[in-house]
Structures are given as structure tokens and as C-alpha cells.
């Protein structure tokens, strides 16, 4: 297929570029804002028709969670309105859409892994904007899948892993939230899952929602301890409560996903979070 990938300079986009070489069955068009402004419907329609795009992977997103509380319009423009543009173009030219969403569409008040059918109830503007994007995909009812993910990190861009590595070298001790539960997702694993799905499986002809993260359940405190342990940095890390670290946006206190549906439908192997963290850390430590 001829595949358009948006957000190519983001964590997922960069990993898709690396892994695409292992899936030469497709012709890829990697774009970011410089190559294609997905907020411009005319530009999207033109790009898709000129390049005969058959499948779109939307990895573009406004991800500044706290800033979104003040920059509501910017968040909704990229996370919702631009998704509508992609849906319109996909419908017009019979292209398939894979749209990446987030755990922030949930309020995090459950105490067991979230299913795709669970009620959405975002507690932040970022979550609201991402939910609107999902709703656009569902409303257009085009052949598509929405893949929600959580706690994304990689060797690219800014993320929790890189922040902890930096702070662990700069500060005598760290204080990390220990009452928010979830699962990290190595962007390379998510990229591989997406490429496996579009290459080797029959894609659903109506919108389907899937959850994808690595396996396991931890807190941010656990995550930070694992990062410093693997890096061999002996810095004291103290657990704190969410109330001790106020942020502009409310984080879901629990956002562990059930991955049963995506495993059942596509027979993909999902690595444990710790194994994937070690893989990513090996790349980071080699580059430093």
C-alpha cells in the first residue's frame, strides 16, 4: 500500500520511520507540519490524491498535557479538527485510517484494566481534545481503527525516561508520584504493532477501538526507580502523592489497559514493560 504517516518527527513517527525498512511491502510518505499541514483540509485532500494514498497512520498530536488547559484551541485544532480533515480525505479517496489516541480519554477511577468498551470521561482539556478526535473517526464510520496508548517513551524527543535520566544526574534526590498506576509504552513496540497489523492482517471495515501498551502495571515511582537502576545511577528516589505535585491538568490515577482485544484480533506479541525499557535504555546509553 501507499501509506501516509503524519507526525513523523514525533516519538511514534520516528520509530515508524526506522521500522518501515523491515516492511518494504509498502511505499511510505513521512510528513510533519513542514510537508503537510493536516489542519488544512485542502492540503490534505491534495496530498492524498496526488500521492494516491491508500492508508493513513495519524501519529500527529498536540501532546503538551498541561499547556492544553490554557491552549484549548490549539489542542482541539490538532487533536480533533485535523482528525476530521483526515477522515474527510479518507472517505473521499477510500483510504484506510489508523488513528492513535490516549489513556487520557478515561478519568482513571477504575481499579482494573480498562476495556475498549468502558465509558470515556476525560478529566483534562488534552483528554477532551483527543476524545473529540476519536468521536470524529467514529462519526465518519470509515474503515479505520483507533489505537489508544499510554505513557509513551522512546529514544527520540522528550519523555519521562529522558527527564529522569537528566534529573538523576543533576539532583541529589528525586521525588516521584507513586499513586498513579499505568503501563509505559515503548514507541518502537507500538510502531511494530501498527506495521504488523497493516501488513499481515485484514483491516476492519468499520471503526474499531484497540488498546495497546506494554504488559504489566506500575507507578511513575516504579518507573523512575527502574530507569535509574538500569542506568546504574545511585540517586535516592522518594515516593510522593499526586497532591504533593500539583499540575495544571488532572492525570488519570489509574490507566492500565486490557490488551486482550488487540492480541485476539491480530495475534501480536506484546513485551513486558521492563524488557522494553531495557531495550530503549541500551540505545540511549550507547548514544551518550
pLDDT digits 0-9 by tens, 152-170:
999 999 999 999 999 999 9
Q: Quote the cell numbers at residue 175.
A: 521525588
SS3 labels along 203-269 = CCCCCEEEECCCECCEEHHHHHHHHHHHHCCCCCEEEECHHHCCCCCCCCCECCECCHHHHHHHCCC
Q: Is the dihedral of CA 148, 154, 157, 158 positive or negative?
A: positive
Q: Quote the cell numbers at residue 59.
A: 501519529
Which of the four pLDDT bands, split at 50, 70 and 90, describes residue 286? confident
3 state SS of 57: strand
| 126 classed as catalytic | yes
d(CA 266, CA 288): 37
pLDDT over 80 (residue 287) = no
Where exactly are the structural domains of the chain? 2-159+184-215+255-271
Residue 149: what are its φ and ψ, rounded to 5°?
-135, 175
CATH of 2-159+184-215+255-271, one of 2.40.30.10, 3.60.40.10, 3.40.50.720, 3.40.640.10: 3.40.50.720
pLDDT digits 0-9 by tens, 168-192:
999 999 999 999 999 999 999 999 9
The average pLDDT across 255-269 equals 97
- From the list 126, 153, 212, 221, the catalytic residue is 126
Would you say 178 and 115 are in contact if contact means Cβ atoms under 8 Å apart? Answer: no
In eight-state DSSP terms, residue 87 is H
Amino acid at each position: 500500500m501507499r501509506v501516509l504517516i503524519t507526525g513523523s518527527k514525533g516519538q511514534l513517527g520516528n520509530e515508524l520511520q526506522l521500522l518501515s525498512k523491515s516492511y518494504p511491502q509498502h511505499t511510505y510518505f513521512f510528513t510533519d507540519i513542514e510537508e503537510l499541514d493536516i489542519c488544512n483540509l485542502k492540503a490534505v485532500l491534495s496530498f492524498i490524491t496526488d500521492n494516491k494514498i491508500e492508508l493513513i497512520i495519524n501519529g500527529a498530536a498536540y501532546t503538551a498535557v498541561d499547556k492544553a488547559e490554557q491552549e484549548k484551541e490549539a489542542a482541539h485544532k490538532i487533536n480533533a479538527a485535523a482528525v476530521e480533515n483526515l477522515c474527510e480525505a479518507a472517505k473521499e479517496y477510500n483510504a484506510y485510517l489508523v488513528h492513535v489516541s490516549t489513556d487520557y480519554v478515561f478519568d482513571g477511577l477504575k481499579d482494573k484494566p480498562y476495556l475498549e468498551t468502558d465509558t470515556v470521561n476525560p478529566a483534562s482539556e488534552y483528554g477532551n481534545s483527543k476524545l473529540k478526535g476519536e468521536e470524529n473517526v467514529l462519526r465518519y464510520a470509515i474503515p479505520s481503527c483507533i489505537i489508544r496508548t499510554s505513557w509513551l517513551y522512546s529514544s527520540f524527543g522528550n519523555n519521562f525516561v529522558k527527564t529522569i535520566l537528566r534529573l538523576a544526574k543533576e539532583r541529589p534526590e528525586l521525588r516521584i508520584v507513586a499513586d498513579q498506576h499505568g503501563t509505559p509504552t515503548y514507541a518502537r513496540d507500538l510502531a511494530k504493532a501498527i506495521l504488523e497489523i497493516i501488513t499481515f492482517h485484514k483491516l476492519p471495515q468499520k471503526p474499531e477501538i484497540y488498546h495497546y501498551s506494554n504488559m504489566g502495571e506500575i507507578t511513575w515511582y516504579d518507573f523512575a526507580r527502574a530507569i535509574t537502576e538500569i542506568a546504574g545511577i545511585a540517586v535516592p528516589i522518594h515516593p510522593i502523592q499526586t497532591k504533593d505535585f500539583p499540575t495544571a491538568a488532572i492525570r488519570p490515577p489509574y490507566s492500565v489497559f486490557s490488551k486482550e482485544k488487540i492480541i485476539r484480533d491480530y495475534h501480536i506479541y506484546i513485551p513486558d514493560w521492563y524488557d522494553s525499557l531495557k531495550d530503549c535504555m541500551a540505545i540511549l546509553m550507547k548514544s551518550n
